[in-house]
Every structure is written in structure tokens, then in C-alpha cells.
Amino acid sequence: EDQVTQSPEALRLQEGESSSLNCSYTVSGLRGLFWYRQDPGKGPEFLFTLYSAGEEKEKERLKATLTKKESFLHITAPKPEDSATYLCAPQRGGATNKLIFGTGTLLAVQP
Amino acid sequence: DAGVTQSPTHLIKTRGQHVTLRCSPISGHKSVSWYQQVLGQGPQFIFQYYEKEERGRGNFPDRFSARQFPNYSSELNVNALLLGDSALYLCASSLVGLAGAWSTGELFFGEGSRLTVL
């Protein structure tokens, strides 16, 4: 059965304090792994897709990496505007583009 | 460029009623998916439609149904509403590659329709 676990559930950082969020997954036939940012009451905002182990992608203060069992979202020198819930979602290959979401990590960055 | 648009943004229903939610995908996107997000959880897959045909269905009861129109917009219908149907309903659109190869796999979400069932 497909499983996605994100940790920690919540993370509080001081502005400028770098850290990493973890996404562990068990999904057969992985096609890609997606990261989204979600602000309260809003829809998820696309950040990255990773397709193969060893791949890395960067966007501003965020860098996502992928292994065969985990993905990490590294946040370097975060700012208060980075506060949001970060969702990880593996996608299995097949006839649909269904995403299997974790419960997310709620990040709060204090000035 | 317009993103994925959903309507209504908020609605309140009572148990047993029916609801219809609407979604317009990004221009050029032919696939629409629906997700349910209960407070504190990640989105859960309900349906995917492509070229007006159902491509996939999640683990939801038959009270949930959907369709896609020739202009690629979509409706999600929920009958006999239960308290547990209260959630944020998200629509996502995507480009579809040839022969099932998802050459551009990114799904772009709308802001959602917040349904409260009393």
C-alpha cells in the first residue's frame, strides 16, 4: 500500500535559521515526486517535480532533493514569508496522474 | 494568464442536500482532477478526467460523481451530503502527454471551494 510520511509535522524557525523537511514514501512504480506550498485557506502552489534519484532542483531559498525512499526540502536562510504548509506528493506511473499527498509540514518563520 | 478557477469559493449546505462544484482549467490543459482536503490533512484524490472520460477514481462513495465538458471545464457533484463531506474541494489541471506519457506532469491547483455541511 502506498504510504507518504512527512516530518516534522510542525517546525518553528527563526529568520535566517536553515533547516530541512523530510518526506518518506513507499510508492511502487514512482513516476515523480512533487512539492507544493499551501497557505491557509488557499490551494496548493506548485514548487518542484523530481523524477529520478539524485536529482536536485532549486528555487530561491528552497532546494529539493530525491533518493529512492525519501525527498528533502532544504530551506536556506528562511524569511517570514516562507511560512506555510509544505506538501509532498509522489506520483505513481500509470493511467492517471494521481498524486498521493502527505499530511504536510507546517513551517513558521519568526522575524 | 488565468489559472485554474473554481466556483463557488464558499458554500454552506445541510445534511442530505446536493452540491455542484465547478472548475475551469488553465487554457490548453485537457486534464482535470478533483481532490478533497479535510482540515489538517493532505488532499485526497477523488477523480481525474481527460477528454471527457474518467481516467481514475479514488476511494470515495458513489455519492460523488463528476463530468468534463467539451471545453474541458468540469463539475463535481456530491449527493446526500454528510457532515463528513465538509472540506476544501480542490480542482487541478494539467497538460497530458501523448499515449499516456505524462511529458508535463505538473498539476496546477485552484483556490478551492470550501464546503460546510451542517
Least Cα separation, residue B103 to chain A (angstroms): 11
3-class secondary structure, B83:
helix
Query: Which whole-number Å values give the CA distances from B50 to A24, A64, B29, B109, in the listed order?
Result: 30, 30, 9, 16
Least Cα separation, residue B84 to chain A (angstroms): 18
Are A99 and B55 a contacting pair at CB < 8 A?
A: no
Pairing of strands B31-37, B87-94: antiparallel
Return the amino acid letter for A33.
L
CB-nearest to A98 from B45, B90, B111 is: B45
pLDDT at B62: 97
3-class secondary structure, A80:
helix
pLDDT at B114: 97
Q: Find the mean pLDDT for residues A63-69.
A: 95
Residues B31, B27: Cα–Cα separation, whole Å? 11
B25 at A interface, C-beta within 8 A? no
pLDDT at B105: 66
3-class secondary structure, B87:
strand
Are B107 and A99 a contacting pair at CB < 8 A?
A: yes
Query: A58: which residues sit within 8 A by CB, 6+ positions away?
Result: A64
CA-based nearest residue in chain A for residue B108: A46
Residues B6, B90: Cα–Cα separation, whole Å? 8
Look at A30-39, B59-68, B98-107 and tell me which has the smallest mean pLDDT: B98-107
Pairing of strands B113-117, B87-94: antiparallel
Q: Measure the N-to-C terminal CA separation of chain B; round to a whole number of Å.
A: 37
Q: What is the pLDDT of residues A75-98, one digit of tens each?
A: 999 999 999 999 999 988 777 888
CB-nearest to A32 from B40, B105, B112 is: B105
Q: Which residues of A touch B90 (CB under 8 A)?
A: 43-44
pLDDT at B99: 34
CA-based nearest residue in chain A for residue B90: A43
Q: What is the pLDDT of residues A17-37, one digit of tens each?
A: 999 999 999 998 888 899 999
